[in-house]
Structures are given as C-alpha cells and as structure tokens.
C-alpha cells in the first residue's frame, strides 16, 4: 500500500459514489441495447445494481416503470436526489441481488455495466439468476452487460496490467484513475485495484483513494452454460455498443438478450 492512500469498501462509501457518478453519469452508449430488446409499450423493469440511477432514469423517461435495487445507500441517495425523470419516476430500494424479496413479476430484468461480474462466487450468481427467473413474467426478457477478460489478461499468469484515465470536474479539479488488473485463469477471478488521485485547485489538499475487489472472469461459453442451466434462452449476443455480433477473440464487452424459459430447473 502506498503511503498516503486511503482505503475503504468500494460500496457504501460516499467518495466512491461521487467518483462513480463523475465517470458514468453522462454515459449513454449502452441505452440502444436496452431499447432494442425491451417491449415497445411501457412495461415493468427491475434493474439489478442501479447505482446512481443513470439507466433507470433514461428508461423511465421512455415510459417504462422502473424499480432499481442496490446495496449502497450513498448510491441510492444520489439516485433519489438526481433530476427526476418524467412520470413514472423510478422506485429505488436497498436490496441484495442474491436475496430478492419482491412479490410481483416484471416484464424485464436488466443488469447493466458488468453488475453480475461482481458476484464472484458462482453459487451466489446461480442464486441471483434463479431469483431473476422467478421474478420474470412468462416470456419475460433478461438483459445483461458482462465483462469478458481478453486473452492477454488470461495469459499474464497473475501479473498486473496497468491502465489509467483522466477526468475533469466542473470546478476545474482533475481525477486520475489508475486501474490494475490481474487474473488467475484457474479460478476465473479477476483482481482489480482502482486508485483515484484527486488533484484540486491551488491551495487545496489532494486526496488519494484505493478500492480493491474481485469480479468473475467467465468466458462467453461459461456464461451461456450457467444461464441455460437457470432456464434462460439466448436471443442475441453483441460485442459492443454498436450491437455487432460478439466475437470471443475480439470483444471484452458482452451484451446478452435472454428469454425466460417455461420453467426453472432449480
């Protein structure tokens, strides 16, 4: 650990929420995927891992009735404080996506921006998918964005790969985001370290934050197997936001549209 770097849980932390929102609040490239596969008429949608409400608000503005869940109180607070979408506004709840407690069904369940990768325990993933299947109406649709590790990361044999991004803040401050990834191919787990270096205007102290977590690094075939096992049928698989067909050797983004089968084998 570098001297001066503050560490905290990645979720439930207000500073991380602000950094997350800075990076993603204006991101729109994934919305055409959801709009292509959602029903043309307004429907009920459950969003798993809604974060600060970026996707929920956009789809609510289309007329859909959104329920978004997340484990992070700061994320949900930010979602509630954001400029409201036209009626019906999204409803947000603090809930674990492996312990869904709804007593109704939804026409669609969505898990944007690699949310399911955060379920690094395969049994937790199965539990989440089984419950999503149960909560989908007959012939309902499941829409996912997943991260697929590239071949280079798989062959680094635990060594770290470094990337960085720079974001500008409205007040003129800069945020430098450093990302270190490593993967043990046998476990299918990707270790991620995110470091945020906040550089404010003159005479203000700087801040350095570090967040460490793991994600599940399954390939396309493994995702397809576990989704089929849980009663979902694949309708479409895309490899980028232009909705080009997924190619294993080329793409690290996997966008899946899956239809609920007649019954869940679990």
Phi then psi dihedrals of residue 209, to 5 deg: -125, 145
Domains in the chain: ranges and CATH = 14-149+217-260 (3.40.50.150), 151-216 (2.20.25)
pLDDT tens series, the chain, 266 aa = 444 454 444 444 678 898 898 899 899 999 999 999 999 999 999 999 999 999 999 999 999 999 999 999 999 999 998 866 567 899 999 999 999 999 999 999 999 999 999 999 999 999 999 999 999 999 999 999 999 999 999 999 889 999 999 988 887 889 999 999 999 888 899 999 999 999 887 777 888 989 999 999 999 999 999 999 999 999 999 999 999 999 999 999 999 999 998 655 44
Contact criterion met (CB below 8 Å) for 118 and 97? no
Res 237: pLDDT: 98
The structure's pTM equals 0.92
Residue 115's pLDDT is what? Answer: 97
- Residue 263 is predicted with a pLDDT of 58
18: CB partners within 8 A, 6+ apart: none
Maximal C-alpha separation, the chain:
63
pLDDT of residue 126: 98
pLDDT at 84: 65
Distance CA 154, CA 248 (A): 13
Residue 261: predicted pLDDT:
86
Find the Cα–Cα–Cα–Cα dihedral 242, 191, 189, 10, rounded to 10°: -80
């Amino acid at each position: 650990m570098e001297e001066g770097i503050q560490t905290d849980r990645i979720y439930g932390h207000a500073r991380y929420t602000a950094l997350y929102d800075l990076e993603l609040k204006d991101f729109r490239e994934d919305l055409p995927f959801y709009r292509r596969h959602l029903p043309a008429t307004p429907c009920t949608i459950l969003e798993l891992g809604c974060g600060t409400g970026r996707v929920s608000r956009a789809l609510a503005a289309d007329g859909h009735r959104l329920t978004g869940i997340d484990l992070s109180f700061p994320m949900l607070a930010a979602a509630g404080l954001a400029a409201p979408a036209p009626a019906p506004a999204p409803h947000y709840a603090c809930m674990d996506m492996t312990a869904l407690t709804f007593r109704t069904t939804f026409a669609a369940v969505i898990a944007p921006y690699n949310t399911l990768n955060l379920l690094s325990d395969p049994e937790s993933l199965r539990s989440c998918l089984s419950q999503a299947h149960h909560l989908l109406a007959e012939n309902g649709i499941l829409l996912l964005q997943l991260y697929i590790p590239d071949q280079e990361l798989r062959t680094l044999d635990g060594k770290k790969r470094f990337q960085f991004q720079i974001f500008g803040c409205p007040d003129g401050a800069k945020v430098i985001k450093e990302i270190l990834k490593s993967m043990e191919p046998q476990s299918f787990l990707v270790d991620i370290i995110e470091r945020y270096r906040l550089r404010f205007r003159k005479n203000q102290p700087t801040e350095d934050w570090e967040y460490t977590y793991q994600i599940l690094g399954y390939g396309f075939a493994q995702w397809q197997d576990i989704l089929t096992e849980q009663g979902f049928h694949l309708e479409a698989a895309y490899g980028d936001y232009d909705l080009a067909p997924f190619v294993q050797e080329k793409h690290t983004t996997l966008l899946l549209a899956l239809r609920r089968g007649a019954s869940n084998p679990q």
